[in-house]
Chains A and B, each alone.
Chain A
């Protein structure tokens, strides 16, 4: 067990534990902050997998963007502390069946997939490769996504003007 393994288990523990607390805590501000640690842990795991660009984008988009928006929304709401969030258990049997099915599918795909494990010395930078793929092989998808985001932007602006 070398240092990378220890760091991996650290990030994995942060991700799983904080994700667990996100759904179990009763305070909405707390769950927003537990989400911060979940995103951080996921970004750390991306780095360990050698996906440096995705890790950075994960931090910028989720921590710097979405999480801050959630916090803004929560803090601008009146009487945030007295909001009762339902965290009890209802519909136990259907939920158990659904969870068991999902877990079974996930486990089956994890066991059946032939994972390619290559011994690499040091993962190289991925930014250039991602950029090349985006403007060559996936150019149309990339442009379509851009148009989609633009539509969302214009829609948000026009809704805010009313």
Chain B
């Protein structure tokens, strides 16, 4: 484990804890956000038959760094009638909420921020802080568009949390664990042991599980997409009606924090879907480390597979964003309450019956 390594290196529990908890931020979220912003612009550009940013560096690969340098120099504007303390705390609260989720994400068998027993439930609990932060940002801006965007966002996140939790519950019922590391370890072997293909056990139950699991996967993907406020569920930011929702009044680094937490959230929900359904950090075909007898290679390969699956789902989110139109508020609520929740309940019932029998 990486913790033991840092413990040996520094010789103190406290320092090892601090380094371990900062690791996902510095080696993962910041580089990922740099990459993802450029990736999003390139994906959108190529989908619309454009080239996207081309000027800074080869095919614009340094564009995001230039943008960040610009954002750092920007003046930090606080509206006169805004509620200053809440206005300043809100971006921090939103980012803290989305960063907290990374504590329980198993990047590889050697690295998980904190191997807590209630990993999945912790991630769901941490998203409550994001909602509170978004409401705080919307209210303190003293702007009706911000407030409307924040209310829509909070209503949407709370509604779509229900199908997410129902699907997570069905996974917990099958595997009997809420620990994401154990859950990933259970799906070891080849890709037919992943939860989306019915889980690790063989027999009749596996074949009944396969269609249910694929439906569950689609439900959780749609509802997590809504929880991160991405198109087609981006009515909180609907730029044609609300300017840009709850971060309309933010500028400079505070805006950058919202941006960072949006991309961190995108990866976090992809990582949850990956860990629950697609074997987490497990390789679909086996490890090079086993082939060559180099066992130190396996955690690195696992890290590669985990980020590859996560980034693939981030790519699908971007793909959907530039393909589908935005949903109306009533359509959004109808999709959640009339379709996703009943289907998730039926699936939960069937899975419960099968696991009892």
Contact = CB atoms under 8 A, between A and B. Distances in A.
Interface string A34-55: 0010000000000000001100
A56 interface: yes
B174 to A, nearest CB: 15
Contacts of A76: 151
Interface stretch (A61-69, A96-104, A133-141): A61-69
B246 to A, nearest CB: 12
Interface in B64-80: none
B116 A67 contact: no
B121 interface: yes
Contacts of B272: none
B129 interface: yes
Contact of B122 (A29, A56, A67): A56
Contact of A71 (B13, B122, B124, B132): B132
Interface string A103-145: 0000000000000000000000101000000000000000000
A71 B135 contact: yes
A59 B118 CA distance: 13
Interface residues of B, number: 27
Contact of A64 (B131, B136, B147, B151): B131
A67 B97 CA distance: 15
Contacts of B128: 59-60, 63-65, 67-68
A127 B127 contact: no
Q: Most A CB atoms within 10 A — which of B83, B116, B135, B158?
A: B135
A131 to B, nearest CB: 10
B314 interface: no
B86 interface: yes
Contacts of A29: 83, 86, 139
B124 A60 contact: yes
A127 B127 CA distance: 21
Nearest to B151: A75
A137 to B, nearest CB: 20
Interface in A62-104: 63-65, 67-68, 71-72, 75-76
B83 to A, nearest CB: 8
A127 B178 contact: yes
B132 A59 contact: no
Nearest to B17: A3
A59 B131 contact: no
A8 interface: no
B181 interface: no
A68 B118 contact: no
B124 A127 contact: no
A123 B118 CA distance: 14
Nearest to A27: B83
B327 interface: no
A71 B124 CA distance: 19
A15 B256 CA distance: 30
B147 A75 contact: yes
B316 interface: no
Nearest to A68: B131
Nearest to B178: A127
Interface of A: 3, 29-30, 33, 36, 52-53, 56, 59-60, 63-65, 67-68, 71-72, 75-76, 125, 127
19 contacts: A3-B14, A33-B132, A36-B129, A52-B116, A52-B117, A53-B118, A56-B121, A60-B124, A60-B125, A64-B124, A64-B128, A64-B158, A67-B132, A71-B132, A71-B139, A75-B139, A75-B147, A75-B151, A125-B117
Interface of B: 13-14, 83, 86, 116-118, 121-122, 124-129, 131-132, 135-136, 139, 147, 151, 154-155, 158, 161, 178
